[in-house]
Amino acid sequence: MPKQAVARTATIKREAMKGHWIAAARFALAGLGGAQAQDYPTRTVTVIVPFAAGGPADVMGRIASDILSRHLGQSFVVENVAGAGGTVGATRAARANPDGYTLLAGHMGTNALAPIFYPNLGYDPEKDFEPVNLTAVQPELLAVRKDIPANNLKEFAAWAKANESKLNMGHAGIGSVSYIGCLLLNSAIGIKPTLVPFTGTAPVMNAILAGNVDYDCDPVLGPLQHVRKGTVKALAIAAKKRSPLLPDVPTSYEQGFPQFDCAPFYAIFAPKGTPQAIVDKLAKALSEGLDEPAVQKRLTDLGAQIAEPDERGPKALAALVHSEIARLTPILKAASAK
Ligand code: MLT
């Protein structure tokens, strides 16, 4: 056999062996689950937040990490790994050692809908993660520059169409929930703005405040403080019900744009193969923390909705991921094609 072919065959064999070793290690870890889970965690746990600090994903990830630190007596430390609509951080988490020491604070974009936008995504949201526990759901909001001459969705639609050639939409990367929310809005209105990507909602908000982008669709907590200060205008809640935090902001349904309906989930995931006993221990700790009155107040003050205990755990979260993929894939494909 020619030398190159011999080398190639050896490489293929080595890669195949590597695959077997990883599978074997995952199998062994799963078997060790019970014993490991008793002591777990014995050292610091990394929680990857796949967006920049200061946005909804970061805040949700930090609230979950804080609960886990308090309930499990070890530090759960957030690491922001932003890029490509959260898929850089999610890929890193999917490939991490499945030993419970690397987790992902993901959301509806990274852990359900990303494959719609990234055909060569390095992970499968359903096959490469163990769903741990839902943290909260956050309805989205249309936030616009305060000097845009529009005070409701109809006025915004008219203004956006008239100014389409210079219209800039901020978002946290293709496949992020800000991208997804505005995709629904844009297709409902019939506009194609220039899409300006950032590493998260916090930098998007800075760009709106600076007048560099015109609008953004994001979970309520992203623009909330700016809306309250009057430095950003809130034109619509992307849901059937108004937000108790902004009761004067009408919903997209009230304003005749029901297609703008987006309420992303935020949740903790572990790499596939993480021992079930560890997943269960994490889920129990997180769920108990979510029942604490102080945590409930903190989340509701941020516009987040907390699910009932039986709608939060590994099985319920797996079902939610599955049903959101089934529900939203055709809607988003149709909106992207417009
Ligand atoms: C998103 O658009 O996916 C998130 O809002 C980004 C973030 O939380 O910073």
pLDDT digits (tens, 9 = 90+) for 152-163: 999 999 999 999
Please give the average per-residue pLDDT across 78-87, as a whole number.
98
In the CATH scheme, what is the code of domain 140-237?
Answer: 3.40.190.10
Q: Please give the residue that has the higher pLDDT: either 174 or 14.
A: 174
CA-nearest residue, atom 6 of ligand 1? 200
pLDDT in tens, 314-331: 999 999 999 999 999 999
Single-letter residue type at 173: G
Does the Cβ of 178 fall within 6 Å of ligand 1? yes
Q: What is the DSSP code (8-state) at residue 313?
A: S
Tokens 């957030």 -> residue: 78
Residue 141, strand partner residues: 218, 237
Segments of the chain assigned to CATH 3.40.190.10: 140-237
Q: Compute the distance between CA of residue 7 and CA of residue 57 in angstroms, rounded to an integer.
A: 45
Distance from C-alpha of 226 to C-alpha of 233, rounded to nearest angstrom: 8
Using only C-alpha atoms, the chain has a radius of gyration, in whole angstroms, of 21
Tokens of 182: 């505005």
Q: Which of 264, 263, 265, 268 lies closest to 251 in space, CA to CA?
A: 263
CATH 3.40.190.150 in the chain, residue ranges: 41-133+268-337
Give the domain 41-133+268-337 fold. Answer: D-Maltodextrin-Binding Protein; domain 2 (3.40.190)
Ligand 1 atom with the shortest distance to the CA of 179: 2
CB distance 177 to ligand 1 below 6 Å: yes
Enumerate residues 6+ apart whose C-beta is below 8 A from 190: 157, 161, 338
Mean pLDDT lowest for which of 26-30, 126-130, 227-231, 329-333? 26-30
Which secondary-structure segment (H or E) carries 48?
Answer: strand 45-49
3-class secondary structure, 3: helix
